Amino acid sequence: MGFYDDRVLPHVINRVMDTKVTREIRRRVCADLSGEVLEIGFGTGHNLPFLPGQVTKLLAVEPSGLGVRLAQERIDAAVVPVEVIGLDGQRLPVPDRSVDAVLCTWSLCTIPDPVTAIREAARVLRPGGSFHFVEHGRAPHEPVRRWQDRLNGIQQRIAGGCNLNRDIAGIVESGGLRVTRLERYYAKGEPKPFGAIYEGVAVVE
C-alpha cells in the first residue's frame, strides 16, 4: 500500500464510518450474533460496542496494522476477548467449520475478490452458523447505477480500492451462501450513489 492508503486512509475511515447512522446499522447487524464470531474487515473496531453478551470471542481479520492500532481503545473496552488472527479476508487462517458466525460490515466493496472471501466465510462456518453483513453496493435504480459507474474509478483511487457498484447479494450467493434476510435502502444523509445499502443475513446452502 502507498503512504495515503497505509497511513492516512485508516484515520479518515475511523472518522467517517462512526456516525449516528452507521452506529444504528451496526447495532442491528450485530444484534443476533452469538458464540465465536469471525469478523472480516475489522477496521478500527467500530462493531465492538455492539456485540451482544452471547458472543464469547471475536476473531478479527484486518489488513491495516494502523487500523488495528487505532482500534486499541475499543479492544480494551470490549466485553468479549478479541484476537487479531490475519490480514486477508480471502484466506481465513482458521479450520473448516470452526466459528458460529461471520460478520462483515462495509468490507466486501474493497476486497479484491469478494466471492473468494464469501467462499472462505462459508468454509469456516459451523453447521447452523450465519453470515451477518451490511455493505454499500449497486443501487436498485438505474439513474443511480449510472452515477455509480461514472464515479467508481475516482472512488477506488480515494477510498483504498472501494467499489460503489458491486452486486452484494449476487456476490454472497455466488460464494455459496443463501441469503435468508435482505433489506435494501439508501442510507440517511448520504448521496445515493454512495449510500445504496444491502443489510442482511445468509447461511450455508
Domain containing residue 33: CATH number: 3.40.50.150
Where does the pLDDT of residue 205 fall: very low under 50, low under 70, confident under 90, or very high at 90 and above? Answer: confident
pLDDT (0 to 100) of residue 79: 92
pLDDT (0 to 100) of residue 1: 55
pLDDT (0 to 100) of residue 21: 97
Q: What is the pTM of this model?
A: 0.96
Please answer whether residues 50 and 26 qualify as being in contact, where contact means their C-beta atoms are separated by less than 8 angstroms.
Answer: yes
pLDDT (0 to 100) of residue 18: 96
Number of domains comprising the chain? 1
**pLDDT, mean of residues 180-202:** 98
**pLDDT, mean of residues 66-80:** 96
Amino acid letter, 55:
V
What percent of the chain stands above pLDDT 90?
96
What percent of the chain stands above pLDDT 70?
100
How much is the mean pLDDT over the chain? 97
Judged by phi (left if over 0) then psi (alpha if -120 to 50, else beta), residue 43 lies in: left
Give the domain extent around 70: 3-204
Q: Residue 90 corresponds to which cell in the numbers above?
A: 480471502
**pLDDT, mean of residues 189-199:** 97
**pLDDT, mean of residues 156-176:** 97
pLDDT (0 to 100) of residue 2: 80
Q: How far apart are CA 41 and CA 38, in angstroms?
A: 10
Buried-exposed string 71-108: b where 16+ CB fall within 10 A, e elsewhere = beebbeebebebebbbebbbebebeeeebbbbbbbbbb
**pLDDT, mean of residues 115-119:** 98
pLDDT tens across 6-52, in order?
Answer: 899 999 999 999 999 999 999 999 999 999 999 999 999 999 999 99
